[in-house]
Chains A and B, each alone.
Chain A
Amino acid sequence: GQSLEQPSEVTAVEGAIVQINCTYQTSGFYGLSWYQQHDGGAPTFLSYNALDGLEETGRFSSFLSRSDSYGYLLLQELQMKDSASYFCAVRAADSGYSTLTFGKGTMLLVSP
């Protein structure tokens, strides 16, 4: 099976930088994904790391260390619209098929 740990809540102010950490335990690991979900909405794909290192997409960056079973999502120049839940998700092999297992989610609250 898989398990993931991420903080339940993070608060920050507009313009700041915030890092959301994720540690995982899994077998058959393929990679770590990040999804954003606004209240009442669907999860939206943000990023995916299969190899160690940093991936940058605009204001968002994601990092993975496979040896440490650890990753993080970095959000820069925070905006009010970034207030949402952020899920890390492990992509792993399950009976020969790739599945996603989600962490419990981190609620990010951005204040003015």
Chain B
Amino acid sequence: GNSVTQMEGPVTLSEEAFLTINCTYTATGYPSLFWYVQYPGEGLQLLLKATKADDKGSNKGFEATYRKETTSFHLEKGSVQVSDSAVYFCALSAVYNFNKFYFGSGTKLNVKP
């Protein structure tokens, strides 16, 4: 079946630190992979995506590379800001039913000044 596993949080970092949030997946074939961000009290916003192996998605200084060999899509940012504090969700869309998204449990990021 399809599933997504994320590292558990919360992750607490100081401003300008390097961020990695691990995400691995299980899927049939080659799904599309996504990172969404959820700020307190709000809905999910698409952060970046990758639709095939070795693709790199990037946005707002965040990036993630679709690694087929390790079935991973880790989120990275070189220098986090306080405004990056949020919950980050990794997700995949099923190959044969791409209308159904599978989400990880989310990783809460706290960035301190």
**Do A and B come from the same complex?**
no
